[in-house]
Each structure stands twice: as structure tokens, then as C-alpha cells.
Amino acid sequence: MTASGMTAHDRGLPRTSTVAVVGTGTMGQGIAQVALAAGHPVRLYDAAPGRAAQAAEAIAARLGRLVAKGALAAADRDAALGRLAPVDRLADLADTELAVEAILEELGAKQQLFTALESVVSDRCLLATNTSSLSVTAVAGALRRPGRLVGLHFFNPAPVLPLVEVVRGFATDPAAADRAYDTVAAWGKTPVRCADTPGFIVNRIARPFYAEAFRVYEEGGADPATIDAVLRESGGFRMGPFELTDLIGQDVNEAVTRSVWESLFHDPKFTPSLAQRRLVEAGLYGRKTGRGWYDHTEGAPRPRPHTAEPCDAPEKLALHGDPGPAAGLVPLIEEAGITLTREAGPGGFFELPDGTRLSLTDGSAATMDPFGPGIRFDLALDYRTAGRIALAPSETAAPEAVAAATGLFQALGKQVSVVGDLPGMIVGRTVAMLVDFATDAVARGVASAGDIDTAMRAGVNYPRGPLHWGRQLGAGWVRDVLENLHGACPTGRYAPSQALVRRAASEGKLL
Ligand SMILES: NC(=O)c1ccc[n+]([C@@H]2O[C@H](COP(=O)([O-])OP(=O)(O)OC[C@H]3O[C@@H](n4cnc5c(N)ncnc54)[C@H](O)[C@@H]3O)[C@@H](O)[C@H]2O)c1
């Protein structure tokens, strides 16, 4: 509700307005179901003969299952089906006021369709494309009136997932984008506004979630099961990147990565993974082919994460300086009955009884530590609730020190995964990159900070919006991690964005 008392319901498309869905495959059916549930009459059109009628039957079957589960009243199902009409000709869409396109992902086909639609519908009709990777500006490029075309990027399955990215093409009339936004909000969805940039919000900012995990694997840091477990149990992500891409399909996920990378003129921050390319070349797409990173065939054993055997915890530790984002460990150590002495001065590390430094990853390898062979531990979303912590000992760390560090985290109730000494470890480098991508996207006008955090939570279930996460960690910490990673791997991939560098500098001044 705004000051004028108008709600999204009032500003969006009236419920009596007819919505057309063109292309009635997976997404078209889902979008049609959402528009029906919101009360609109819906027309279905598909180029393949009989496909629209099949889609209507599939939607009826889905609504029937909702009735059987008690999630929908039979009378509402009947009313919805009474408003649903498959049609055979584009001309039958003449009186629609919103036409959502969900045909194949091909620019020429989409341009042709919208050109044909434009000559059929009235000037009032809003046009929307559900493209996930094409430029909305290019899709509208062939139109007489490109101002009324917006991107409405629904996520699969559209009736279940709340997020819809409302994309303004270069020529999109702001009033058209507002109308589309209000309409999907009135449909009960969670719309976010974004500019027409490759990957929009989610498919742009999520890239490092996959890419960093694949890199840790490629560089021999850990195996997929361990990386997935660390990102789930320490990072708080619902699924790890290996299991998630097996679910999405390696072909689909890699195509998105390549498309964003190519659209951004091969920006090194978006470079795809060679290991994933090989999976795609081998036809190992994931669950749908029975194998991807994991073997999904019936009865195949699921690899388990590497988990350290029980070790003795040290009786005492010294904390030097400010532990920064690892401060949450301090009360846990004290609650576990381990004596913690505090030493003033620079540092930000725990000193084990043998003098070994145990420190939160800072984006550099433990082996490069100028103070001798140290041990790094990974970032956690919340050290209290984390079920697992990754440790990376330097190549010359004493086995007794590794055992003491392992025992320490075990005494705090965590499983421990000892991984290779890779800079930034697993959660640390992933989150630092997500924060940087999100900070950079705000600066470039891709979307507002609030919309980015909403999109990453509602669209891909992140446990915390990346900008919120960045504020908690401090931009200075994130910048330092990335600068150290950049030092270790100077390809440009890890160079912190100018926006992050500025944020870190101003953060210091604001203190
Ligand atoms: N599947 C997803 O997870 C997902 C998520 C978000 C967005 N998208 C986007 O949604 C769109 C549709 O994807 P999908 O997975 O539903 O595809 P799909 O293959 O399931 O369905 C596409 C349908 O479009 C029809 N079609 C093709 N050309 C047509 C034309 N010229 N006119 C009318 N109908 C035509 C086909 O017959 C088919 O029924 C694509 O742009 C895709 O990138 C897909």
C-alpha cells in the first residue's frame, strides 16, 4: 500500500483482463497456472499443433492434484479451468492485455513471435518475455513499439518459486515495467526490478557459488562431497554446488555460465570451469542422465565428505588481537571449558599450545604465512550453528598442531574436514566473491541492494543476502580476502571491484 492508498492489486492488470501465454512447455504451463490462480482468463498458444491443448490438460491434472491434497477447493479448480482456453491461432490472442512469451531460447524466434504478436494485440497490451539469458533489449529490437516489452523472468517451477525478475530493456517504458511489477506482485509473487544485463540478478551473482567450488576441486583442494558438505554445514547453503548442478543439469548450468561469460566479453571473473565442460562433453548431465559429479544410478553409494577422526582438544589457547568475522568462536571456546587468554596487539589469530597460529582464512595460503607454518580455518555463516568446519594446514604444519586444531573444533561440536591449503578455502572465497559480485552489481545499476538480497534469498535460497552478509563481514575483510586471492592468482578473476574497494575505504572512515 502506498501513500495514495493504491495497492499492487489496483495498479497491476485487472483480474478480468485476459492473459496470453505463448509457448506452453515447462515454463509456459507454470506461468499460466499462476495467472489462472490470480483470477485471470488465460489463453494458451503454442506453435506445435496440439501442444496448447496438452498443456491445458497438464494444468488441469496439476490443479486436480492440488484438490486431492486439500490445497485447492474443487469449486476453485473448476472456475480456474473454466477460464483456461487453448487456442490454435495467434489471432485468437487479439483481446489479451498481457502476453507472456515462454518459447524456445532463441533470439530470432522470439523477435519473430513478438513482431507477429504486435500486429495482433491492441496497443494497450503489455508484452513480456521469460527469457533467462537473452537481452530483453534485443528481443524488443524488432518491435514497432519496444517500450511495452519487459522481461518477466520466472523461476522453475513457476507456481512454487516466488521470485520474478522484472527486467527493463533499454527501450522499456518505465510505466510498462511498473505495471508488470505490480501485476506479478498482485499474483502473490516476489518481484524484483533489474536492468537488462547478462544473467539479470540471480544468474549473474550466483556464478561464483558454482565456479569457486569447481575451482577448489580442480586445484585438488577437496572432493565434491567434502566441498558440498562444507558449503551446506558451514556456509548454510541449502545444497552444495555439485549436488545442485547435478539437479539443475550440468548442460543447463554450464550453458548459463558460458552465456553470461560470453555476453560480458569474456570477463575473467565469469570464466567457466574446464571440469564442468568435460562433464557436459561426456554427456554426464546429472540426475537426468544418471551421472554427473555424482553417480545417481539405483543403489550407487553416495560418497561421504572427508571427516577427521576424533582428536584431543587443547586445554588452553591464546587469542591475539581481534578475531574479526571469527569472533563468534570466542564464546563457544569459553563455553567448551577451554582456557582462552587474550593478548593485545596486532594479530587476529588463536595460538595453539605449541605456538602454531590458527587463523580465519584471509585469502592467502597458510603455507605462505610469514610467521611460520600456520593453519587456516574456513568462514562459517554462524559458528554456533555450523555443523562442520574446514581446516587447511600449511604444508609444513606439525601433525600434532593439526590434531590440536581438529580437536578444538570437535570440542565445539563440529565435524572437521581437513582440506588442501588453497587460498580463501571454500566458504571464505565463495562468500567473498558473492559479496563482491553483488556490490559491483549495485554500483553498475543492475538492481538495488535490497532487490539483490531478496533475489538471492527467494530465487536460490541463499541463507543470507550477499550485501547483508558483506556488511556483517565488513567490506575491508572481503576486500583483503580478494586482494590476497588476486595475489595468488593474478588473472583478474579475484581483483576486487572498484565499488568494493570504495566501500572498504569509506567503511574505515565511517568508524
Ligand atoms: N526451464 C527453465 O528452468 C526456465 C526457467 C526460466 C526461464 N526459462 C525460459 O523460458 C523459455 C521456455 O523454456 P521452457 O523450459 O519452458 O521450454 P520448453 O521447451 O519446455 O517449451 C517451449 C515451448 O515453446 C513452443 N514454441 C517453440 N517455438 C514457438 C513459437 N515460435 N511460437 C509458439 N510456441 C513455440 C514449443 O513447442 C514448446 O512447447 C525459454 O526462453 C527459457 O530460457 C526456462
Is the CB of residue 365 less than 8 Å from the CB of residue 394? Answer: yes
Of the residues 17, 130, 132, 253, which is catalytic?
A: 132
DSSP state at residue 361 = -
Specify the residue for cell string 490454435.
88
Neighbouring C-beta atoms of residue 70, cutoff 10 Å: 7
Q: Given ligand 1 and candidates 89, 130, 131, 263, which is best to mutate, with the most ligand atoms within 8 Å of its CB? A: 130
Whole-Å CA distances, 386 to 221, 248, 257, 365, 390: 21, 26, 30, 23, 11
Instruction: With cut-offs at 50, 70 and 90, classify the pLDDT of residue 211.
Output: very high
Question: Where are the alpha helices (H) located in 308-426, listed in sequence order?
Answer: 329-335, 399-411
What is the residue with the minimal CA distance to atom 15 of ligand 1? 26
Q: 363-378: per-residue pLDDT in tens? A: 999 999 888 889 999 9
The string of DSSP letters for 366-392 reads GGG-TTSS-EEE---S-TTT-SEEEEE
DSSP state at residue 336 = T
For the chain, the C-alpha Rg in angstroms (whole number) is 26
Of the residues 101, 165, 243, 351, which is catalytic?
A: 165
Strands (E), 112-195: 126-129, 149-154, 163-168, 190-195
Rounded to the nearest angstrom, the gap between the alpha carbon of residue 507 and the centroid of all alpha carbons in its chain is 26
Query: Has 497 been annotated as catalytic?
Result: no
Q: What is the pLDDT of residue 69?
A: 96
Q: What is the pLDDT of residue 511?
A: 47
Instruction: Give the predicted TM-score (pTM) of the model.
Output: 0.95
Whole-Å CA distances, 389 to 412, 500, 510: 10, 27, 33
Query: Has 165 been annotated as catalytic?
Result: yes
DSSP state at residue 419 = -
DSSP state at residue 302 = P
CA distance 200 to 324: 33
Mean predicted confidence (pLDDT) in 292-299:
96
Q: Is the pLDDT of residue 510 over 60?
A: no
Report the alpha-carbon angle 210-364-329, nearest 5: 85
Portion of the chain with pLDDT greater than 70, in percent:
98
Q: Is the pLDDT of residue 183 over 50?
A: yes
Portion of the chain with pLDDT greater than 90, in percent:
94
Q: Is the pLDDT of residue 2 over 60?
A: no
CA 329, 331, 335, 339 torsion-angle sign: positive
Q: Is the pLDDT of residue 255 over 90?
A: yes
24 CA distance to ligand 1 middle (Å): 7
Side-chain-facing half-sphere of 304: CA atoms under 13 Å: 5
- Mean pLDDT for the chain? 96
Q: Given ligand 1 and candidates 33, 46, 59, 139, which is best to mutate, with the most ligand atoms within 8 Å of its CB? A: 46
Q: 372-417: per-residue pLDDT in tens? A: 889 999 999 999 999 999 999 999 999 999 999 999 999 999 999 9
